[in-house]
Structure formats: C-alpha cells, structure tokens
Structure 1
Amino acid sequence: MSIYNSYTPDQLEEHFSNFIIKSWSFSKLNQYVRNEKAFEMIYIYGYQNKSAASGVSGNAYHLISDYWKAKQKGLTLSLPELQEIAFKYIEEVPANKWKLQKTTPTIAEAKIKAIKTTTALLSNFYKEKSKYEDHIAKILDVELVITVYVTINGVDIPLPCNVVIDQVIEDHEGKVIIIDHKSKNSFTSEEELRLSIGKQGITYVKAYEAYTGRVVDEVWFCENKYSQNRSGEDQLNMFRVLLTEDTRALYEDLLYENVKRLIEAVSNPDYVYLINDSDTLVDRAELYEFWAKTRITEIDEFDIDYTDVNQEMIKKRHRKIRDSSTKMITPKIIKQFKSNAASFIKYDLSTLDMEPQQKVEHILKTFGIHTQVAHTFNGYSSNTFLLEVSAGTKIASIQGHKLDIANALNVPNVRIPKDLKVYEGKSYLQVETAKKRDRDLIWCESELKGQKIPIGKDNFERTLYWDLDNQSTPFVLACGAAGSGKSVELISIVEYAKLIPEVEQIVILDPKFEFMDYASHEKIEVYNEILDIENKVESLVREMNSLIKAGKKKKILIVFDEFADAIAASRKGKDLDIYSMVQVGNYKPTKDAFGFPVPGPPKMQRQKTGELKSLEENMRIIKQKGRSVGFRGIDATQRASTKIITGDAKVNYSLMICFRVPKEIDSRVVIDDAGAETLAGMGDGLLKTPDSPDLIRFQSFWKPQEQTA
C-alpha cells in the first residue's frame, strides 16, 4: 500500500501544494513525454480543448460501454439503440468544442463526418463483437473511473493516478482481463504495439490492482478501424499483452522512467517546458500562439480548470514568465509573433486578435452572408450584437450558422431570437452570446419603483419589473437547474418585497430549508415541513374566500420554492379523505327496572364524510381567484416536468422566468421556446412577458449575504 494513503487531509493539502498538478494519467504522461509544451498548454492551462470530427466519433464509439453495462444486467442493446445514444452525444457537443479543418470547415459538416464515422465503428463492433463475447465468463467492471495512489518499481508515486478503464472481464479460465477500446483510421503495426503499448497497459494494471485488490492477468487493446478494408478482412484487431513476471518488471521499469521525469517537472515551479517541433499530433501554430500568449496575457484570460491544478503555483509561475519575457522582449514584438502564429491556425477565429463583432462578420462572410454588426452591448453574463443584414439575405440562413458563430467566438452556443430587434427606430437581427462574467449586478434599493419589483436588467441596461399592483401579472413561474441563479432571484424578490409598505405579509413555502434566515422577520412567515405547507396553503384559501365575500383586499406575496417537489411529496388520493364517527342506527332497545322499553344506544361507525383539497388544487384556486383580492406569488422549481408545468398550469402564470436548464426540451416546457439551455448560469435568464413578443435575456440582481437581513 502506498504511504500516501495514510496521509490525513491536512497532510495531503500540504503535500499537493508542492505540485502544479494534483494527479497524473497515462494521457498526461504520454503528452509530456512527446511534447512538454503541449502538456503545459493542455493539462496546466487547459488551452486546447477542441476535437476534430474523428476525435468526437472516437468518444461516441466509447459509448459501447452502455452495451456492456446492459450485458451485465442480462440485457442486449440493439445496434439502432446504441446508435441513438452515440448520435445524441454528438449532437450535444458544444460549438466551441469542435475543431474545424479543411475537410470539415463548418460544424454541420464536422457533425456529418462524426456521425458517419461513428456509424461505421458501431457497425464493425456489432459484426465482430464475438471477439469479445466468446471469451467472457463474467463482466467485472465497465467504464471504471479510478483515482488511486500506485507504486511503480517499488517507489510510491506522490501523485494519484487517474484512469478510466473501458472494461474488465473474467474469461472462462478464470483470468482477469482489462480491455481497452480504440478507434483508428488504420491499424497500428504489431511492431509498434509491442514496443509502446506495454506502458499504457501496466498503468491500467497498477491502478486497477491498487483499487480492487484483484490481480490482472492480461490487457487487451482492441482497435476498431472505421475505414473499410477492401479485402474484406476483419475491422477489429485485438492485441493481447500477457502479464508474466518478466513483462511486468519490464513495463514497470519503462513506465517509471517517464513518471519520474513528469513528477520532477511538475514539482518545480520554474521548470521550462520544451517545444517539440517534430510532434505531428499537435498543431505547431497553436503551440507557438499559446507560447506567445503566456508571455503577454494575464492569467485570467486563460480558461483554466483549477480542480486538478494548483492555482497559486500557476499564478506565481505565470507572473514570473510574463514579467521576465516583457523585460527582455517588447510586448509589441511578442504580440506580432502571436498574430503570425494565429494566422496559420485555419478555421479557428477564436485565436485571432479580432474583436468579437469582427469575428461574427467574418465567419458569416465565409458562407457568403454579408452582414455588419451595427451595435454591440456588453451585458453581465452575455453580449448582444445587432446585425444589419444586407438586402436579399435570408434570415434563416444566418440561423443555420449559429453554431459556427459560437465556434468563432469560442462559446458553447449562441442564441438568435426569432423576431427582429427594433433599436433606435431600425430593425436588426439580434445575436446573443454567453461570456465570462466580468461584473455583477448588485442589488440596489433605488431600483425599486413603487410596487414594481426589479427582476433584473437586460443587455440594454433596462430594468425589468414585476408589477405587484398590476392584476394582469399576479403570478410568476421561475425555473432553473442548480447553480443557475434561481434562489438568488427569489432572495432578491423577497428583499425588495420587504420594502414595499403595501405588501402586508410574505409567506415563504420552503421545503428545502433555504430561507430559514427570514423566519424572524416581522412580516414574513416561513414554512418548511410538507404538512405545515399544506395547512398554510389551505388557510390562505380560506382567507382569500373571506376577503372575496367581504369585498376587501390584502396584498400577500407567496414565494413557493421547489413547488414541484412539494407537490410530489404532498398528500394525494385516499390520504385526503376526511373520516368521522357517524350514527348509523341504534342498538337493540332495552327495558328499565320497571319493565318500560328504553331506546338502545346509538350505533356509531367511522365513515368518509368529506375530502380535503390537495396542495396542487389549493394552489390552483389561489391563482384563479387570488389576484382580485391582492394575492401575488412566484413558484420556483428545478424540475421542468410536463407533469407539473402542464399547459393548464401555465395559463395561470403571466410572467415566466427560465434560468439555465440542461436540455432544450426543458426550456420549451417552461417558456415554450428553446434558448435556456444555452445560458451562462449564475443569474443569466430569459423572461417571457405579455409586454414583449419575444423572450428577453436578462441578468438577475444579486444581494451579497452580508447585506441580507
């Protein structure tokens, strides 16, 4: 067992502070050995993360793991079923993850090639999967993700090893075998495999054995060749690595030399990562463009994922590199070099020193669409470009290239509303793109106008309101996934409502216990337990009916967080039945002491005498009748389910807010249109209101916790 398994969390934290990365893998190791600068670019700075169509299809092919997972359960997925899984993956690859090339200059063409290649790979697999299945007595593991400390050549490696093992089986002889799937345009020669594949195999073996305690007997590398053999030979080639005592020792020794070099490099903050100009697997222009960028750019300009790297060490290292470079070479010369390098990176506008609006215009011109970005608006979580479209240009043609626009801007997606935007008396096509947040929209009391509660600001700096005094907008629906900004929006609304004198009471229905801090406020009531929520809503219905009969009004704001979960957990069916003891007759008469007849005692029986209304029904009644007496409300949920947000239910919501949701279908459920799946999160939302024919993109207000009371 590795000594590092015995470290306490505090010891590990101190230990990791000495390394620029927090784990290693064979991919990292292989990249470091082949090209150190590319390793720094990809695995430290997270700079290169785009995949060509072949890379995307390779990832899609690895979803044959679903076939083996089904096999474990005694099921068999058909080829069309597995194809649908793979095709869905390809469709959901974000625009800025596609690497465009000469043969695939657009995302649409890249997707077609990826689907075609994946289809060939899956067809090959189904035709020849007996090469796997004939040997399988038991499937032990599928797509196993492991992070574990390993010992190589008797040395405890100070960083944990990450591996994703495609498949582990036990054959009919009881041998434990690791299987790795690879997609290839052409088979690797057996000579090359014998020399190089052992290091990868022993990495899997050491990690798996340390994690499970099982001894691995063999490692199989199965290459699936998507280009068809004209000779009719097999498309799957299985190469077996037999793990004898001698081969284990040999591969461990080869692996250790490389791991030792990597560990020494990542533990030295001043290590100089060298460029290998002979590396054909990395775009040399990209590598030099990255090199120049590290010399003149602030660290915040890089999209670094700090979950697996040491943030402080990178910042110190980067500052030292940049400062020393600009002292020796003028920034102007470095910028010129960077521009020269970027000019060789074809089909990728994200690397060029162009303004975003120039990139939008340029990418559309490459498709013969002439536009001009007339206005640019810098929002909080997104930017808006207003495009002046040349006469004769079909708007639909621009809609078809929105992924190419996103790729040029290096964002996952862009949103192009269906309706034109009228600005300063002129119509424009509107393009919205998510961006890295550079400022926050801080909650401000001065934004409150009478009973108009500020919802947020759009990219044109207009404040959007929910008018509590307007009977046509009494109830609001808000939806968004975790981290989308939904709770922040609710807190902002409550904070504004507290300041409105006309709002006599705020009722917060909080099944997730997120608003407990408001329980002590004089005009706020907070209910958490589902039975308490049901009883309170029932009492609100009674109060509403009393107000209607008396012809009175009372401004009550009902904030219902996670209402879908509450409704799902509430009482239904027979649980709502009311039972009472009812007299159903009398027992047999008796006689008194003088012989006179005495009526028998009443015979009682427990019977259903009524039925309570469900929580969902009571909420529906409040929405239908409550507006006239001053009831206002906002219902929020993470679940964009058609079972909860039905067409009939949405009739009662005049305003609909949708923050980021996982899928396009979720967006359509909430706001009847796509777009919310492309949002940036953290308060970036879409508002559907009767005042606007199109959805309005906005940023919600955020009130820091220390300011809330």
Structure 2
Amino acid sequence: MESIYKNLTTDELAKHLGQFLVSSWSYSAVSTFSRNQKAYEMQSVYGYRSKSSATTIAGNAYHEALQQYFNLFKAKEALPELVDLETIAYNYIEETDPRNWKLQKTTPSVEECITQASATVSKLLQNFLKDISVYVDEIDEVLDVEHYGKGIFVTINGVDIPLPLYYKVDLVVKLKSGKIVIIDHKSKQSYTPDDAVKLTNGKQAITYIKGYEAEKGIKVDEVWFIENKFSQNRDKSPQLIKFPLDMTSEDERRYYEVLLYEGLRSLVHAVNDPDYVYIMNDSDNLVDLAEMYEFWTKTLLLDVEDFTGIDPTKTELIKQRLKKIKDTGIKTINPTVIKQFRQNAAEFIQYDYSNKDMTQEEKIEHVLRRFGTIVKVAKIFNGYSSNTYLLQIDAGTKINSIQSHKLDLANALDVSTVRISKELTVYEGKSYLAVELSKKRERDLNFTKKDLVDMKIPIGRDNFEQIVHWDLNNHSTPHALVCGATGSGKSVELKSIIEFSKLAGVKHIIILDPKFEFCRMGLKGVKIYSEILDIETALENLVIEMNERVKAGSEEKTLIIFDEFADAQSQGRKGKELDIMEMVEVGQQKMKTMFGETMVPKMKLQKVGSKNTLEENLRILLQKGRSVGFRIVAATQRASVKVITGDAKANFPVQICFRVPKEIDSKVVLDEGGAESLAGGGDGLIRSPEYPELVRFQAYYKP
C-alpha cells in the first residue's frame, strides 16, 4: 500500500511538516520515546548528542570495519584480514571527537576510553572472523551495505504515518535459497534472552522491512540479528549467534506492526502538539539521569538560540514552546531554585565538565590536578581564531604528562581538540607552557599597510598581537611552502602576500595558477599563467633569466606564486613529450636531375635533446634562484608525502600550514600535528628559521 503523503509536492511537504516539532521518525526514536519521553525530547527535538561510552564507540568501530569487509565481499575482491579490520576500527576510535567520549569511574580519561574501546573492538573482530560462517555460508549475493533510507513515507498497521521514516540497515543479502534477508550487526556484553527476541527485535525488524520495501520495491523474507558477544563464553561455544525472524507470514508482520504502531502513534501525537508534556522516566538506565535533569532545567532558563542542535526549520515552533514552558515554570518554581537545582544536577555528572559552572581556566587546572599535575593558568590571551592559556608549572613536573592528557582537556573544555606547545613560551621574562583552544572567529585581521617593514612580508599576527613575517631579504628563508584544505584561508593568504610584496617594492610578480583561481581576483601589475603549456614555458624562461642574472650579478627581487603546484606537476609533459626533434643530416643519397645524377643530403627527424620537466625547472629555480633574487611560494591542498617529499621540503625553509583534514597531513608539512585542529578561515601555523618554535597566527584578510 502506497502512503498518501508520498505524492506531496515540495511546497505541500514543507507546509505539512511545519506542523510537527520534528521532521522524521526512526525505530530508535520510537524506542526512546516509549522508554523515556524526556530523553526523546532532549535528543530528537532539541538535538542533544549524548556522550558515548567506550563500549558504544567500540560497537560503532566494529560496524565501520564490517562495512569495509562486506563492501569488498560484494565487489568480489580480496577480503581484509584481522590486521586490516583492526586498522579501520582503530582509526575510527582515534578520530572520535574527544567531546563524544563518556567518562566513567572505570574509564575516567579519554586515553583510558580509547584503550578499552580498542581492546573491545579487537575481541569483536576476532570473533567475527572466527565465526564468519554464521554470515557467509548461506549468502549468494550482497545487495546493500550500510544502506541509509531517508524520507520514506510508509504505512504501519494500515495507517499512513504523517512523518517520513529514516532508517539504516547494515546488510541486505540474497541467500542461495533465493530469500532476501536484512542483517543487523549487534555487539553485546550478554546475549538477548530467547524469549525476548521477538518483542525486542520484532519492532526493529518490521521498521527495516517497511522502509526497505517501500524504497526498493523488493520483498524481504527474513531479518537476522547477529549478536557478537565480546566477553568470552565459558563453554567455548561460538561468540556469534544468529537470531532469525521469518517475515514471510502476513500474520507475523501484522503482529509486529501492531507492536510498533502503539509507540509510534503516541510519538506522532506528541510532536504534533507544541504544548505536549514529555514525561521523565527516572528508572531509565540507558540515559544519564543527571544529564536529563540538567537538560530539563535548561528548557526552563534558556532561549532557543542557546540550543545548538535544533533543526533550523523548527526554531519558531520550539521558541513558542520554550516560552510557554518558562512562563509556566517560573509561575510555579522560583528561578533561583531552578538554577540551584541545575547546579545540583550537574554535580552528579561526575566527569562531564561541559555541564560544570566553571571557567575554562578552572577546568584546565582541575582536569590536570585530577591526573596529578598541578598547574596555574597565569595568563589568557584572546586571539582571533583561538585563545592561548599560559600555564605556570610546578618545578619537577614532566611536560609530557600534560601532553598525554590533551584529549581529556578537550573533552572537559568542550572543544574538538587542544594544541599544547612542545617548547616553553617565554613571556615577560618567564617560561610558561602554552595551551591553545580553537574558537569561532569573532573579528577579522584586516590588511593594513602599516604592518609592513622593509622586505619583511607580514604573514599574520599571533595571539600576543605580534606580527609574524617572512623576510625576503633573509637568505635563510628564501622560499615558502603553503598548505591548506578548501576554506582554510590559503588563497586569501597568498593574495595578502602578493599585495604586501607590491607595497614592499617587488616589481616582478608572477603567478602560476593551473586552477584559474587568481584570474578572477583582479590583481594588477601581476603576470598570471594558467594553461599548463604556458606555465611550463614561463618556468623555462625563468630558468634562462636566472642564468643571465648569475652572469650579470643581478639580485633583483622576483616573487613567484605557484598555486596547486602538485596538480601542475601531474599535468605537465613527461617522457617523449619533452623530446626536442629536428631534421638532421644522416648521410648522402643519389637524386636524378635533368643534368644527371647528383648526391644530396639525406635528412631524418631525430631527437637532438630533451627539455626539462616542469618539476625539474622548479627545482632549479628553488636551489639556484635564491642567490639572484627569486623568491618562491609553492601552495597545495594535498599534503601527501608523494607531493611534499623530503627533498622538496628541504627547499622550503618557511612552512605554513592552514587547516588540513588529518594529523598525518600536518606532520607531512610541519613535522608535527596541530594543523588538523585549526579553526579555518586563516587560522594557521608557521615554521621558520626566524622563530624558535612553531607559531600559531591569524592571516590577514583583504577583500
């Protein structure tokens, strides 16, 4: 049966969904609502993301590894071994935002959470490969892996549900018997009791089926729940157990639909009533009770703008709801009592510092004290894209012990990561350890002529408001490497370098722009080459000019900006394309003429030499051009060792890195991590012989 809501136009659908506090439903949403309405309101209406335990993260990492396994299985390619699967899972765990870890008594630090999650997922993957026959013995073909169904209108128990279904199935296969089966991977500490399987899994199974069949038009025969218990079975029995549900019987399907519809109907009614009162279940052991009470007090005290997870299309509805909640609450409860209650609730959230009424500096001191390190935040500097906290450290304290807890600091400070300098920072004659926290930039560092002194090209300002520069007259810093992902501020930085260089009196500025980005910037007095053949020719001519300068003893400054040089190198001519071919005499041959036979030269097209590759010409300019005034800035988005080799980096004493996707990218450019945690929009790190350590700075903005 097709839902009546399936044929709504875009405008009709927007108007229809505008009546509800949420825009979709899922099985987990119905399950949460049935168990604890207040938890559903917190998570689905207000978009709260609860922290996850080490066990939960391990389960997510297990799913990540199995996704790769079955994608290869589907493609009939070589299947990964245990080490390959563990690497996928460990990467997932390592890349989990520190703010998402739920610290508990057994795992009071992020590092301990990571250790436990890694050990747990390793057991799960060992079990999976050992008992893989539970999966593959009957599979003929894999149809879908980690399939997401979004916005599917379905009919449950004969009723068209007015909200679209969002669902995810781990695996859909065709068996050798011809049956179509949905498979759900589950990691467990203990198996689901046999007598509870139908009740606990049946509603989830029918949700998958209704969504998948409505979307794909394929009838599903069975749903398997394969549970992997990470604690070892004492009787040495298999760790993987399959709980199959036969869905071929219409009576069986109808039974599960009735069970699902009961909770779903109540959910739809609640989200269609902005005045609905969501009941809190104090006995719910799947939600942090203190967190839930803390959320409840926020709805009594805060405005809609303070809830960052709300669906923007629902802001007005929830704003009206909050006003009524606060008006009602304040009439019956004194606001002072509400605030006191919030503080008391937060005290029960033992390890979640984001709920504590503490300043950032107090959290830094408190977290490190808990791990036995006594520090004092002596100075705070509010930068453009980050804040710097200077820590005064007791004598004898090992700096490495603080470095090892940076994830715990990030968790407590509610940021994705923190950067802790490897060297001590000297400020006003005293040594401190600098801790940097990224933040949303509240002001721009605008381009200004007054920051230019001689040939010292301003790159930006650090959090101490000191100008960070690149000195074109310093022979130890002739060339600069600039790296950064899209949106990181790399192109704006290059533009400001060009403008400062013009002001400094650099008359010859050349831009090699294979992506045609600078063509649109309207730069005056600058030569721009974008076609790959033009770029190659320009570099050839620059090498010729360099050799002429060497002979003449000239040192006139020439700035070359080579944007996306890696792309140009890959596009440049190679091999036989660089051969120089000429007609040459290879002997004599007879030719008949009206006067008789005569000997004439025999000509043949032959290779007489070869041109340098684009990469070779760039290397020559980098190595020899520095002494005759050439200054080169090479920029790229790709921070890989194939692009930025050790030899290439040796030619760039100045290394500038804006935000990059991963820590390994930062290490390729700067030899240490940190750039992966930058805020973007000109927030950068620079390594230069002119500075004793890596410096964080904000780049200039020039419209």
- Shorter-chain TM-score: what band? over 0.9
Secondary structure at the aligned position of 1:587 is classed as strand
What residue in structure 1 maps to residue 122 of structure 2?
Answer: 119
1:645 is the counterpart of 2:662: no
1:84-95 matches, within 5 Å, as: 84-95=87-98
Cα gap change, 1:494 to 1:262, in 2 (>3 Å): farther
1:256 is the counterpart of 2:261: yes
What residue in structure 2 maps to residue 408 of structure 1?
Answer: 412
1:559 is the counterpart of 2:554: no
1:176 is the counterpart of 2:176: no
Cα gap change, 1:223 to 1:211, in 2 (>3 Å): same
Q: Is this contact kept in 1: 2:445–2:699, CA < 8 A?
A: yes
TM-superposed CA distance for 1:440, in Å, is: 3.5
TM-superposed CA distance for 1:121, in Å, is: 1.7
Q: TM-score, normalised by structure 2?
A: 0.92
Q: Is this contact kept in 2: 1:285–1:341, CA < 8 A?
A: yes
Q: Is this contact kept in 2: 1:148–1:210, CA < 8 A?
A: no
Q: Is this contact kept in 2: 1:295–1:325, CA < 8 A?
A: yes
1:339 is the counterpart of 2:343: yes
| Distance (whole Å) between structure 1 residues aligned to residue 446 and residue 656 of structure 2 | 19
TM-superposed CA distance for 1:361, in Å, is: 0.8
TM-superposed CA distance for 1:286, in Å, is: 0.5
| Distance (whole Å) between structure 2 residues aligned to residue 535 and residue 214 of structure 1 | 59
1:31-70 matches, within 5 Å, as: 31-62=32-63, 63-70=65-72
What residue in structure 1 maps to residue 577 of structure 2?
Answer: 575
- Give the gaps of 5 or more residues in structure 1: none
What residue in structure 1 maps to residue 195 of structure 2?
Answer: 191
What residue in structure 1 maps to residue 519 of structure 2?
Answer: 516
| Distance (whole Å) between structure 1 residues aligned to residue 536 and residue 311 of structure 2 | 44
| Distance (whole Å) between structure 1 residues aligned to residue 504 and residue 218 of structure 2 | 69
What residue in structure 1 maps to residue 485 of structure 2?
Answer: 481
Q: 1:100-126: CA deviations, max 9, x gaps? A: 101111222222221222222222222
Letter in 2 for 1:345: I
What residue in structure 2 maps to residue 100 of structure 1?
Answer: 103
Q: Is this contact kept in 1: 2:481–2:635, CA < 8 A?
A: yes
My pick for the range that moved more, 5-14 or 486-495, is 5-14
| Distance (whole Å) between structure 2 residues aligned to residue 268 and residue 586 of structure 1 | 100
Cα gap change, 1:685 to 1:521, in 2 (>3 Å): closer
1:269-668 matches, within 5 Å, as: 269-304=274-309, 310-311=314-315, 313-314=317-318, 317-318=321-322, 331-498=335-502, 500=503, 502-518=505-521, 520-590=522-592, 592-593=594-595, 598-600=598-600, 602-668=601-667
Q: 1:342-384: CA deviations, max 9, x gaps? A: 0000112221010111111111111221111111222222222
TM-superposed CA distance for 1:13, in Å, is: 4.9
Cα gap change, 1:341 to 1:542, in 2 (>3 Å): same
Q: Is this contact kept in 2: 1:509–1:533, CA < 8 A?
A: yes
Q: Is this contact kept in 1: 2:154–2:165, CA < 8 A?
A: no
| Distance (whole Å) between structure 2 residues aligned to residue 453 and residue 271 of structure 1 | 61
Q: Is this contact kept in 1: 2:189–2:230, CA < 8 A?
A: yes
Letter in 2 for 1:33: S
Cα gap change, 1:305 to 1:470, in 2 (>3 Å): farther
Cα gap change, 1:561 to 1:225, in 2 (>3 Å): same
1:678 is the counterpart of 2:677: yes
TM-superposed CA distance for 1:44, in Å, is: 3.8
Cα gap change, 1:546 to 1:24, in 2 (>3 Å): farther
My pick for the range that moved more, 639-648 or 190-199, is 190-199
| Distance (whole Å) between structure 2 residues aligned to residue 491 and residue 158 of structure 1 | 52
| Distance (whole Å) between structure 2 residues aligned to residue 529 and residue 357 of structure 1 | 53
Q: 1:48-95: CA deviations, max 9, x gaps? A: 332111111111221222222222224332223222322232222222
Secondary structure at the aligned position of 2:655 is classed as strand
Secondary structure at the aligned position of 1:673 is classed as coil
Q: 1:259-315: CA deviations, max 9, x gaps? A: 3443444455554433222222111110111222333345555442758x6455555
| Distance (whole Å) between structure 2 residues aligned to residue 6 and residue 405 of structure 1 | 50
Q: Is this contact kept in 2: 1:97–1:412, CA < 8 A?
A: no
Secondary structure at the aligned position of 1:686 is classed as strand
| Distance (whole Å) between structure 2 residues aligned to residue 525 and residue 158 of structure 1 | 61
| Distance (whole Å) between structure 2 residues aligned to residue 454 and residue 311 of structure 1 | 43
My pick for the range that moved more, 106-115 or 464-473, is 464-473
TM-superposed CA distance for 1:421, in Å, is: 0.8
Secondary structure at the aligned position of 2:608 is classed as strand
TM-superposed CA distance for 1:683, in Å, is: 2.3
Q: Is this contact kept in 2: 1:150–1:206, CA < 8 A?
A: no
Cα gap change, 1:468 to 1:346, in 2 (>3 Å): same
Q: TM-score, normalised by structure 1?
A: 0.92
Secondary structure at the aligned position of 1:69 is classed as helix
Secondary structure at the aligned position of 1:188 is classed as coil
Q: 1:207-247: CA deviations, max 9, x gaps? A: 21222221111111111122222233332222222112122
TM-superposed CA distance for 1:696, in Å, is: 0.7
Q: Is this contact kept in 2: 1:377–1:459, CA < 8 A?
A: yes
Which 4+ runs in 1 deviate beyond 6 A? none
Secondary structure at the aligned position of 1:640 is classed as coil
| Distance (whole Å) between structure 1 residues aligned to residue 538 and residue 577 of structure 2 | 17
Secondary structure at the aligned position of 1:110 is classed as helix
Cα gap change, 1:130 to 1:377, in 2 (>3 Å): same
| Distance (whole Å) between structure 2 residues aligned to residue 327 and residue 624 of structure 1 | 77
Q: Is this contact kept in 1: 2:391–2:435, CA < 8 A?
A: yes
| Distance (whole Å) between structure 2 residues aligned to residue 631 and residue 575 of structure 1 | 28
What residue in structure 1 maps to residue 250 of structure 2?
Answer: 245
1:695 is the counterpart of 2:681: no
Q: 1:131-173: CA deviations, max 9, x gaps? A: 2222212222222222141321355444432222111111121
| Distance (whole Å) between structure 1 residues aligned to residue 276 and residue 442 of structure 2 | 32
| Distance (whole Å) between structure 2 residues aligned to residue 506 and residue 328 of structure 1 | 71
| Distance (whole Å) between structure 2 residues aligned to residue 12 and residue 536 of structure 1 | 57
Secondary structure at the aligned position of 2:583 is classed as strand
Letter in 2 for 1:78: E
Secondary structure at the aligned position of 1:588 is classed as strand
Task: Give the aligned length.
Answer: 698
- Give the gaps of 5 or more residues in structure 2: none
Q: Is this contact kept in 2: 1:152–1:256, CA < 8 A?
A: no
TM-superposed CA distance for 1:37, in Å, is: 2.4
- Identity value in percent: 53
Secondary structure at the aligned position of 1:599 is classed as strand
What residue in structure 1 maps to residue 113 of structure 2?
Answer: 110
| Distance (whole Å) between structure 1 residues aligned to residue 260 and residue 577 of structure 2 | 65
TM-superposed CA distance for 1:665, in Å, is: 2.0
Q: Is this contact kept in 1: 2:5–2:153, CA < 8 A?
A: no
TM-superposed CA distance for 1:385, in Å, is: 1.4
Letter in 2 for 1:565: D
| Distance (whole Å) between structure 1 residues aligned to residue 132 and residue 668 of structure 2 | 41
Q: Is this contact kept in 1: 2:561–2:632, CA < 8 A?
A: yes
| Distance (whole Å) between structure 2 residues aligned to residue 678 and residue 78 of structure 1 | 32
Cα gap change, 1:218 to 1:558, in 2 (>3 Å): same
